[in-house]
Amino acid sequence: MKRNFTLTRFIKVEKNFAYKEITNFKNYVNFIPGCISADLIEKNNEFEIGELKFDFMLRSYSIKSKNILEDNSIKIQQIEGPFEYFDGEWTLMSKEKDLTEIRFDAEFKLPFLLDNLLPDRVINVFIEAAMEAFIKRLETFTES
């Protein structure tokens, strides 16, 4: 079953700072629940390829993605991983000097067994926890 998810938050940081932190692949271990490593495999001016490793539900998973970098967004396409497909996008919009709207959209399909094990509410909690941890991380940098 195809699933869609959208989450939007406002944060009191400058857009370029938030964008820089999202594109810093190694930061993902600091805010994605269960992420145990984040390795940047390739990077150029147009995209980056990275691999995230997770311990989740007593199993290890790995997701390799191509992240297409644009002015206000990062488009994520799974290359290899546990999803049948995963397309995501971070979008950042400056609302005021130090106020940024951060939006995360995802469309994905899980394999049959995982699909039955993970109801929408579990996925929502996971994505919201990642976003909240990311925002808290950004806020600690701006409070210093």
Between the two ends of the chain, the Cα-to-Cα distance in Å is: 44
| Domain assignment of residue 114, given as a range | 2-143
Query: What value does the mean pLDDT of the chain take?
Result: 86
Question: Measuring CA to CA, which residue among 92, 94, 89, 93 is closest to residue 104?
Answer: 89
pLDDT of 112-136, one tens digit each?
Answer: 766 666 666 777 777 788 888 888 8
Note the pTM of the prediction, 2 decimals: 0.83
pLDDT of 55-91, one tens digit each?
Answer: 876 778 899 999 999 989 999 999 999 889 999 999 9
- Predicted confidence band at 142 (pLDDT cuts at 50, 70, 90)? low
State the pLDDT at residue 45. 86
For the chain, how many structural domains are there in total? Answer: 1
Question: Measuring CA to CA, which residue among 88, 97, 120, 108 is closest to residue 22?
Answer: 88
State the pLDDT at residue 47. 92
Q: Is the pLDDT of residue 20 over 60?
A: yes
The CATH number for 75's domain is 3.30.530.20
Query: Rounded to 5 degrees, what are φ and ψ at 89?
Result: -155, 130
Q: Is the pLDDT of residue 144 over 60?
A: no
